[in-house]
Chains A and B, each alone.
Chain A
Amino acid sequence: MLRLALPLALPFAIVAVAFVLLSQTDAYIIRLATTFGMYAALALAWNIIGGIAGYPSFATAAFFGLGAYVTAVAQNLGAPLLVGVGLAGAGAALFAGLLGSAILHLRGKYFAIASLVIAEVLRELTNSWTSVTGGGMGINLPLAKTTLLTQPQLYLAAMLFLAAAATSASMLIDRSRLGVALRCIAQNEDAAQIIGVDTRMAKTWAFVISSLFIGLVGGVYASWVTYIDPTDVYDGAMSVKPILMALLGGVGSVFGPVLGAFAYLLLEELLWRNLLEFHAGILGLLVVLLVLFLPGGLSQIRGVGLVSLPKIWRRAP
């Protein structure tokens, strides 16, 4: 029982303490912490399919945008925020299940390209389906009605909650049969198939769980910023950022993406603040330096990254 209770409870406990500490600070800190929650959840979600299963998905932007638009449309039709976000998660997961049956048999680069294109298709469809999505003009969301918390506090709580849920899910997957199957697939998919792993099922589940979280994050994001447009939420950078975070922290490990998200957020914030005009260029240079010079975690797809927390974790009784 304890084996299950700990991964379920620990992330939420940490997040609850963090929320209490952070919720009374100034708006800037709260915004940063909310962004951190969002990045951590996205990086953890990508890590399930991209890291643990070793399938380099570039579809994060697609599910993020889909979630954002589902929430936006549902709210504009009068659904409450919670229902909108729930629909966003369900929609993204369902879409991933259907999509997975079409593209998850592709390997390596072919999978990467197919997943990369999904966001482009969805963006174009969103752009042209003006009657529902508002097209290129974007779409406004109603302000969330809050009683207990202020607006910023609500989104801080929501994003941190999603990050905790994604952490819990990662920890549970890591210890489950699914996790073993996914690691086998990452190492050698043919061998995994031969020894009897249902690779198709495992990959599809990983893709669905990953997309579920991405869709939920997209939904909360849409409500947070109250205005979205296709180029914003289907931005290709949204697909690459979680990969960078996971790489920074350690691909395939459970806590690596969280650390990576923190490190990435710090870098991004510093660059934004100091080099508004050229921040994307410097970010590009940093990516190049990271890839070229940060040894260890980067060289292997199943690397350990900055800190070998998962090892410490496993050593504990």
Chain B
Amino acid sequence: MLWLQVLVNGLAVGGLYACIAVGFSLVWGVLNIINILHGSLIVLGGYLAFFAHQYWGINPFLFAPLAGAVMFAGGVALQYCVINHVMARPFLITLLLTFGLNLFLDNSMLALFSADYRKVLLNPAPGVFDLGSIVVPADRIYATLVGLVLISALALLLRFTQFGRAIIAVRMDRDAAALLGVNVRWTYAVAFGLGVFMAGSAGALLSAIFPISPVASAGYLSKAFVICVIGGLGSIPGAVIGGFALGVIESFGALLLGPEHALTLAFVLLIALLAVRPSGLLGRQGFA
């Protein structure tokens, strides 16, 4: 029964983890950028949800898409005005650019919100679902469900809307897409915005489960790395599978080696996976 409980614990956060990684994966896949900013954006989404709950009493699980929408605008503007200028440079340059932006955002949040850990305290508390021999924490299930809904919406958007197809086209061959009349700059901006949207939503979902603080951003970034590499870069199903896989790995790692080693185990797995199969479990060219 213990094993089943541990498995369920891992799966319960899987959708949330997928939500953390899918925006990172999208930006990597389409824009070819390692977005170091991603972790801080998740934390920013968490703060938006925290303040929305504190001042207007909005439930973070419902607020998640709204947090994403607010940050989407900022993400589009950032990509259009700043990052677009260095898209043709080697990736080390774009990586350093997002690293610089990350330092700035982290430090700004530290100055504005302080390093104190804060957590949305829901009233009434979500409690647990009691399934006889195992219990399932309800807040994680809500977060995973909302996360999966948002990811499905993103997948549908990429699959069936004209803008989604434009993003895929730019991913496959940006010059050919430009020749066919796709506005590449604008498409990049929206794709980055969508990545930020997912980061913001993931942050809002996190804020009700884990305490948030600007100093936690690097942890979320490394989780996104691991999930993307496990699942395979540039694929939404890959991010979902990677998310659930990391949840289960962490859960069993915590049981077998102690909770402090859970993330280390994931990192070691990441290096082993990179050495053996760099494209990940579901990795392929093209996105969605």
A contact residues vs B (CB 8 Å cutoff): 56, 102-103, 105-106, 108-110, 112-114, 116-118, 120-121, 124-125, 127-128, 236, 240, 243-244, 247, 277-278, 280-281, 283-288, 290-292, 298-301
Closest B residue to A118 by CB, please name it.
B271
For A117, list chain B residues within 8 Å (CB): 222, 225, 267, 270-271
The 27 listed contacts between A and B (C-beta, < 8 Å) are A56-B91, A106-B274, A110-B278, A113-B225, A114-B270, A114-B275, A117-B222, A118-B271, A120-B263, A124-B267, A127-B260, A281-B108, A283-B103, A284-B99, A284-B101, A284-B106, A285-B100, A286-B100, A287-B96, A287-B97, A287-B103, A288-B100, A291-B97, A298-B89, A298-B93, A299-B89, A301-B90
B92 near A301 (CB under 8 angstroms)?
A: yes
Closest beta carbon of chain B to A258's beta carbon, Å: 20
**In the bound complex, what is the Cα–Cα distance between A240 and B100 (angstroms)?**
10
On chain B, the number of residues with a Cβ less than 8 Å from chain A's Cβ atoms is 40
Closest A residue to B109 by CB, please name it.
A281
Contacts across chains A and B counted by CB atoms under 8 Å: 116
> Given contacts A102-B275, A103-B275, is CB(A288)–CB(B82) below 8 Å?
yes
A243 near B96 (CB under 8 angstroms)?
A: yes
B104 near A281 (CB under 8 angstroms)?
A: yes
Question: Chain B, 93-119, contact with A by CB distance < 8 Å: what is the 0/1 string?
Answer: 101110111111111100100000000
B267 near A284 (CB under 8 angstroms)?
A: no
Whether B166 sits at the interface, judged by CB under 8 Å, is no
For B89, list chain A residues within 8 Å (CB): 298-299
- B99, B105, B218, B229: the one contacting A113 at CB < 8 Å is B229
Interface residues of B in 152-193 (CB under 8 A from A): none
For B111, list chain A residues within 8 Å (CB): 277-278, 281
Question: Chain B, 187-208, contact with A by CB distance < 8 Å: what is the 0/1 string?
Answer: 0000000000000000000000
> Given contacts A113-B229, A120-B267, A278-B107, is CB(A287)–CB(B99) below 8 Å?
yes
Closest A residue to B94 by CB, please name it.
A291
* The 9 A-B residue pairs with the shortest CB-CB distance in the complex, in nearest-first order: A284-B103, A287-B100, A281-B107, A284-B104, A124-B264, A288-B100, A284-B100, A280-B107, A291-B97
For B101, list chain A residues within 8 Å (CB): 284, 288
For B107, list chain A residues within 8 Å (CB): 278, 280-281, 284
Closest beta carbon of chain B to A253's beta carbon, Å: 16
Closest beta carbon of chain B to A259's beta carbon, Å: 18
Closest beta carbon of chain B to A90's beta carbon, Å: 22
B contact residues vs A (CB 8 Å cutoff): 28, 34, 82, 85-86, 89-93, 95-97, 99-108, 111, 218, 222, 225, 229, 258, 260-261, 263-264, 267-268, 270-271, 274-275, 278
**In the bound complex, what is the Cα–Cα distance between A277 and B111 (angstroms)?**
8
A103 near B104 (CB under 8 angstroms)?
A: no
- B92, B96, B105, B271: the one contacting A103 at CB < 8 Å is B271
**In the bound complex, what is the Cα–Cα distance between A118 and B111 (angstroms)?**
30
> Given contacts A277-B111, A284-B102, is CB(A113)–CB(B275) below 8 Å?
no
- A113, A236, A280: the one contacting B34 at CB < 8 Å is A113
> Given contacts A113-B274, A124-B260, A124-B263, is CB(A280)–CB(B106) below 8 Å?
yes
Closest beta carbon of chain A to B110's beta carbon, Å: 8
Closest A residue to B261 by CB, please name it.
A128
For A291, list chain B residues within 8 Å (CB): 86, 93, 96-97, 100
**In the bound complex, what is the Cα–Cα distance between A14 and B112 (angstroms)?**
47
Closest beta carbon of chain B to A137's beta carbon, Å: 14
**In the bound complex, what is the Cα–Cα distance between A105 and B278 (angstroms)?**
10
Closest beta carbon of chain A to B237's beta carbon, Å: 20
**In the bound complex, what is the Cα–Cα distance between A277 and B110 (angstroms)?**
9
For B28, list chain A residues within 8 Å (CB): 109
> In the complex, given contacts A240-B96, A299-B89, what are 12 additional A-B residue pairs having Cβ atoms less than 8 angstroms apart?
A105-B275, A117-B222, A117-B225, A121-B267, A121-B268, A127-B260, A243-B92, A247-B96, A280-B106, A284-B105, A284-B106, A287-B99
For B264, list chain A residues within 8 Å (CB): 120-121, 124-125, 128
Closest B residue to A121 by CB, please name it.
B267
Closest B residue to A107 by CB, please name it.
B278
For A240, list chain B residues within 8 Å (CB): 96, 99
Closest beta carbon of chain B to A117's beta carbon, Å: 5
Closest A residue to B89 by CB, please name it.
A299
